[in-house]
Amino acid sequence: MKLRTKLIVAFMSVMILPMIFLNVVMHTFASREVGELQQLYMIVVFITTTLLIYWIYRSVSVPLAKLQKAARNIKEGNLDFEIRQESDDEIGQLCQDFEEMRLRLKANAEEKVAFDRENNEVSGSILSTMIRNGSPAYGYMDGTSMACPHVSGVAALGLSYAVKQRRHFKASEFVALLKESVKPVDNWYSNGKKKTYYRNHNSPAATPAVMDLSKYIGKMGTGMVDAGILLSNIEGSGSDMKVPNVYVAEGGTSTVNLAYYFVNGEKLTYTCTSDDATVATVTVSNNLMEVTGVKTGATHITVKVSDGSAQTITVTVRQNAGGNGWM
């Protein structure tokens, strides 16, 4: 019986049964006073209402208690139980849907356990694409999916710090420095250490994965890159930043922000002189050096800094160069 039907039956019973009872009593005990009949009527209404409320409560509370217990079992990873549908109302249908969900979860968990048992060597903690039974699928693995974001983040931090320290690196130099800025990891995999963890978030009943860490000794690169070590190694490594050579057209100008090339460059002052003002002239305003091409040729500009350092750059001037000095 549907829950709505039960409520309708309960309403009709509360309204009609006491009235029928009252009519029967009035015809049978016509000599009774009205007050006594009203008392009987109230007693019948009370008893009827109590029985109907208990009936509806039992039809809802018992299945809900079973669903609560089932939810706790699933939460704890236990899928070895059964939810029986004991009625055909909405609550019973909910129990049936819950049971179908449990069966699907259990089937997925069993399939995952079987797959892990067959592919234990590639078992890991990162959800990745893989081939399963000859078809594209998803599975859990370890490797670059975890390492790349970490290394990329440390590398970006190191490069930004190198700019702040005005240190210049060739690509190969920075990669080598990155590989040196590590903490050893092989000692974590020795002495028969194993890693046990639950990693299948989609199947509550999945068994834990066990990794024999000794199999990874010597296979994890130079170590675990450490941001602190990298930043420390950047100081004093590489080469000083160099003010770039300038290419400019006759009558054109080129501006260089000198603060980019010296440590704390924003707080320094600069003096710039041209070896041949007939080829190119130079002026400085705050941190900006402006070079103006005068005639075709080449000359040098010397940049002297208030911290005592100095650099010399080459200026090349070309005719009809479209604003940048190139032919």
Which runs of consecutive H residues, i.e. helices, occur in the chain? 3-28, 34-75, 90-118, 144-164, 171-180, 227-234
Rounded distance between C-alpha atoms, residue 327 and residue 315, angstroms: 15
Rounded distance between C-alpha atoms, residue 309 and residue 241, angstroms: 12
Give me the pLDDT at residue 121, please: 47
What percent of the chain has a predicted confidence (pLDDT) above 90? 30
Q: State the chain's mean pLDDT as an integer.
A: 78
Give me the pLDDT at residue 201, please: 47
Give me the pLDDT at residue 325, please: 47
Distances (CA, A) of 192 to 209, 212, 213: 16, 7, 7
Instruction: Identify the H or E element spanning 217.
Output: none
Give me the pLDDT at residue 29, please: 58
Higher-confidence residue of 67 and 270: namely 270
| Mean pLDDT, rounded, for 8-22 | 64
Q: How confident is the model at residue 118 (pLDDT cuts 50, 70, 90)?
A: low
Describe the chain by its helix, strand, coil percentages, rounded to 5: 45, 25, 30
> CB neighbours of 27 closer than 8 A, spacing ≥ 6?
none
Rounded distance between C-alpha atoms, residue 277 and residue 268, angstroms: 25
Phi and psi at residue 265, to the nearest 5°: -60, -25
pTM as predicted: 0.46
* 8 Å CB contact between 206 and 198: yes
102-122 as b/e: b if 16+ CB within 10 A: beebbebbeebeebbeeeeee
The 10s digit of each residue's pLDDT in 262-298 is 988 899 999 999 999 999 999 999 899 999 999 999 9
